[in-house]
Amino acid sequence: MAGGGSGRCRTDGLKVRISTAGPAAGQRFAFLTLTNTSGSACRVRGYVGMLLLTASDHPIPTNLERLSPPGPQTIVLRPGGSAYARLQWTIVPGAREPAHGACAPTPGLAWITPPDERAHLVVAWNQGVVCGGGHVSTTPLRPGPAPG
């Protein structure tokens, strides 16, 4: 669904979901999906913003790294259409984190900011702890529902 004569997707016309994509040795992966809930087509291009928070809304240091290639592409989301990004992080404590016990507070929520927007969406974070100083890597948004 690349292309676009439609307007930009606005935060209030989107919903967000985070789904587990499976673990690897010391690494965790998830898919973040944005779905158009508005009544008309809209465009997204690029990367989401993200801030992790405790379940009681206290911010947790979050360092979001934008991965490429591949680079961003313009995606038209028809009503009900989706775009997704893959997230990756470590659960292995970094050099400045405690070697025993939790490396950081376990997130309970994530604030997700769609590309080119200032307002954020709130989603439950059920993916466990994020070590490495809150470092999370993300791909640019890709068209369609998340794999799996």
- Residue-wise pLDDT for 45-85, tens only, equals 999 999 999 999 999 999 999 999 889 999 999 999 999 99
Which CATH number describes the domain made up of 11-143? 2.60.40.10
Residue keyed to tokens 């209030």: 12
Q: For 96-145, what is each residue's pLDDT tens digit?
A: 898 888 899 999 999 999 999 999 999 999 999 999 999 999 999 999 99
Bridge partner list, 89: 28, 136
Q: Do 16 and 77 contact (CB within 8 A), yes or no?
A: no
Residue keyed to tokens 């070697």: 99
Q: Where are the domains of the chain?
A: 11-143
SS (H, E, C) the chain: CECCCCCECCHHHEEEEEEEEEEECCEEEEEEEEEECCCCCEEEECCCEEEEECCCCCEECCEEEECCCCCCCEEEECCCCEEEEEEEEECCCCCCCCCCCCCCCCCCEEEEECCCCCCCEEEECCCCCCCCCCEEEECCCEECCCCC
User: What are the backbone angles phi and psi of residue 12, rounded to the nearest 5°?
Assistant: -70, -5
